[in-house]
Structure 1
Amino acid sequence: MAGQIGFTPPDLPARAGGAVRRRLVFYLPGYDPEAKKRYRALFVRELSRYGRRFDLPRRRVTPARTSPDGLVQSWTVEAGRDAGQDAGQDSWETHTTYEVLLWDDLVRRDFRRPLPLSMLLLTLGILHGIVTGKLFRLYGLNWKYGNVILYPFVMTLLLVALGLGAGLGLGAGLGRAAGSLPGWVSAGLGLAGGLGAVIAATPLLDRIFLRQLINDWVFNWQHSNGWRPDYEARLASFADHVAGRLAASEADEVMFVGHSSGALTAVELTARVLARRPERELSLLTLGAGLPLVAINPRAVRVRAEIAALVASERVVWADYQAPQDWMNFPGFNPARDLALPPGARIANPLIRSAKFRELIDPAVYPRISSRPFRMHFQFLMSNDLPGEYDYFALTLGPQRLRDRVLAPQIVPPRADAPAEPVSAHREI
């Protein structure tokens, strides 16, 4: 979608000022089978990089704990800065409880599906997207994401063609080697061999993220049609957990954070918590969101209703950061405008801003990572190289409330003695 990225809602809710000293963060990962391992390690690694480059002298992260049911991984972070270290900078200190709400077991269950079955479901989903016009709308919102969607489908067609070709060739060879075999037997054996070759290639296909993208598309297709009762049950469990935490919490700010597919999960969860606790003020931060993948399906009535509730709510401040450099989000997408929500409704959310990755990444590094879609997609969760308005750790650990940070960000300065960082520090995800 073309145009300048940025939107401030006309009915943006006012909030009491004051610095945050205690924050409760609920982080919702995207469709990732390794979420339990990935996000703790990523957080600690990138916070360490951040501390070396920016002026955050006090930062202490506790060991991670996992709840008995395995659904919540949590740790705390104490961060702060003393006055006088730099002219014009005030002292501050925050205590953040960071909880990752896990649903990667559902993703791993999807990954246990035979690859040919996932390919079949992908094909059905793509055909459904063509018939309903959904695929064309996604292309209109971001042609790069449209290509990401078509990539696994094209690869599926290519693998099927190669498997059929190999199978027919193998069948013909078996027929010649054993002339007494009926033609249908040799053909069946050949096709089975071709199918086996595709299955055997699964580890190689995982290295090019093919199975990840296939299963991700299938999940979003199923979710948009209301065919994922396991996911719905997990959302209900998350809502129960959060409601319990809020009843005992004295946090100055309660923040839900969602990245990628997890942005929609964060939206759905925030709407459900708001319905239970309408008196509580909540903050919602969505990063590199893929909301249209589900929300534009005509059958996704419940999802659009929850988005509409947040758009109109004065009890939530929702900030959505987008990036044109990221292939796997929808820069310029505004749910208040693009989802045909009820006319005349209050528009209190979301605040939309560009992350401006090009201004945050070292110019020597940018060309190296700009052509790696997954790496650029995860920049939302990584340390900046250069100071900027978008700053993941300032948003989640800093003293400014989300609303204040977006509207009038206090830019975290670089350290005077910040060491030069090798390009190799920008690791693969």
Structure 2
Amino acid sequence: MPHTVKKRRVFYIPGYDPIHPRRYRELYRKEGAAQGAISGYEVALKPKQTQGAYGWRVEGAIDGAETIADVEVLVWSDIVQDSMDLGVWATYQQMVITAWRYIGSGALWRLMRLRKGPVVAALYPVVFLVVQLLIALLVAAGIGWLVTMWLPDWLGLLGLAVVPPMLHWFKKQDNKILAYYLMHDYSYSASTRGSNPPELEARMAEFSERIAEVLKGDTDEVLVVGHSSGAHLAVSVISDLHRAGKIKPDGPAFGFLSLGQVVPMVSFLPEAHRLRADLGYLCQQENISWVDVSAPGDGCAFALCDPVAVSGVAPETGKRWPLVLSAAFTQTLSPARWKELRWQFFRLHFQYLCAFDNPGDYDYFKITAGPVTLGSRFEDRQPSASRIEEPVNKFTSVNP
């Protein structure tokens, strides 16, 4: 019999995102209303009524039941902002280091064996930054050539003076191109070869403490949602909670929903011992439910790649999680909608948090505000037949 939910606590861990978390509230409000109109239910947003940095309440009327879900965003956007606070030349230095970390370790070639989409996304900022530098140097060379037509040859070097302002101009346009943003994203984990920077480790400990407080309270389900880079943070946060005995068999149902995960971008790096250990641990636990949702149409995620198996840390016996499912954008979005979004890669990476024209068994708003626990909802669901489980990672050590 399905486990029913009247009260739910949802903790959302964003990906590498410097923008204020209010964007997620507005996205939920807009897309929840759209999905409700399509599917015939209602999700109404109310002001936050719990502790925590940022969140909102959802009153759901779904499948003939009324529920209350308190959603809290676990904020690390300030850490992201600090990591992005680099000048032009520091970013180029960061680009060289990041490229070497992935190429020199062999991780890049192994990642390409999984999905080429996210690897292309990782190369995208490198290509754009190099092209921008070449354009600036070509302009400088042209100015230098013109100068030497009338002045001594050595004055042709004055053309190089245009390079810094041109590169700064390119950076100011990055809200359209996202080359700098993506470069900072991929370099954040690469800078420590896959280990968590101290400031992130400290914040993750705060996340664990916050969820542990709620696990003591009166709620039917605690659901952690990790999107993009937030998925691998969630793996470690939940593992810490479980090891500490905070997730109890007689406590609230505990669900973990990972969306559009990019776990291999970190777990394939040589020093990602902590993440690999947590993946191997969490996949064996009985009193949680872990569902991993992605879609081949999302070029920024390692779609349908079992993050435990491909990272090479799946145990020989006893592996329970994750249940790997496809959001199947080509089927769950209308042909017109798919045509509109197909080449909007960044927007598609957020589709998991949005409305679907023809939702299958994955419906973000039913999962977060509906009357059934995550575990019960997918209890009899078989994993996607096209999932990738081949262990590809070169680095499988879980101890430093």
Instruction: Specify if TM > 0.5.
Output: yes
Query: SS of the residue aligned with 1:206?
Result: helix
CA-CA distance at 1:174 after TM superposition? 5.1
Give 1:370 shift. 0.8
> Partner of 1:295 in structure 2?
267
Are residue 33 (structure 1) and residue 18 (structure 2) matched?
Answer: yes
Alpha-carbon shift at residue 211 of structure 1 (Å): 1.6
Q: 1:72 to 1:286 in 2, by over 3 A?
A: same
The answer on 1:228 being equivalent to 2:197 is yes
**Aligned-residue offset at 1:123:** 2.1
| 1:267 alignment partner, one of 235, 250, 255 | 235
Match in the other structure for 2:290: 318
Pairwise CA RMSD: 2.2
Q: Is the aligned partner of 1:211 residue 2:162?
A: no
Q: Write the distance in 2 (CA, Å) between the matches of 1:23 and 1:159.
A: 48
Equivalences for 1:65-144 in 2 at 5 Å? 72-81=53-62, 91-144=64-117
Aligned-residue offset at 1:284: 0.4
Asked whether the 8 Å contact 2:308–2:314 carries over to 1, the reply is no
**In structure 1, distance between residues paired with 2:298 and 2:223:** 24
- Secondary structure of the corresponding residue to residue 304 of structure 2: coil
Cα deviation for residue 29 of structure 1 reads 0.6
**Quick one: distance in 2 between partners of 1:320 and 1:126?**
28
2:220 to 249, 252, 255: 252
Q: Distance in 1 between matches of 2:5 and 2:193?
A: 37
TM-score under structure 1 normalisation?
0.82
**How does the TM-score come out when normalised to structure 2?**
0.88
Counterpart of 1:222, as a letter, is S
Identity %: 31
Aligned equivalent of 2:365, options 388, 393, 401:
393
What SS does the corresponding residue of 1:364 show, helix, strand or coil? helix
User: Per-residue CA shift, 1:188-207, capped at 9, x if unaligned?
Assistant: x5334212211122122320
Distance change in 2, residues 1:202/1:404 (3 Å)? same
Report the CA distance shift for 1:403/1:162 in structure 2 as closer, same or farther (over 3 A): same
| 1:368 maps to which of 340, 351, 373 | 340
Paired residue type of 2:31: E
Structure 1 residues 173 and 226: alpha-carbon distance in aligned structure 2, compared to 1, 3 A threshold: farther
Tell me: CA distance 1:408–1:218, structure 2 relative to 1, closer, same or farther (3 Å).
same
Deviation, 1:287, is 0.6
Secondary structure, counterpart of 1:76 in structure 2 = strand
Select which of 184, 207, 214 maps to 1:238: 207
Uncovered stretches (5+) of structure 1, i.e. residues with no partner: 1-15, 82-89, 410-429
Aligned to 2:33: 48
Letter of the 1:258 partner, please give it. G
Deviation at 1:254, TM superposition (A): 0.6
Structure 1 equivalent of residue 352 of structure 2: 380
2:312 paired residue number: 340
Instruction: Please say which of residues 130-139 and 273-282 is displaced more in the overlay.
Output: 273-282
Which 5+ residue runs of structure 2 have no aligned equivalent?
382-400
> Is the 8 Å Cα contact of residues 138 and 146 (structure 1) preserved in structure 2?
yes
Letter in 2 for 1:141: L
* CA distance, structure 1, for counterparts of residue 204 and residue 172 of structure 2: 31
Q: How many matched pairs?
A: 377
Work out whether residues 66 and 73 of structure 1, in 8 Å CA contact, stay in contact via their aligned partners in 2: no
The alpha-carbon distance between structure 1 residues 178 and 66, as it changes in their structure 2 partners (threshold 3 A), is farther
CA contact (8 A) 2:126 2:179 kept: no
CA contact (8 A) 1:224 1:295 kept: no
Partner SS state of residue 356, structure 2: coil
Give the Å deviation of 1:105: 1.0
**8 Å CA contact 1:29, 1:35 repeated in 2:** no
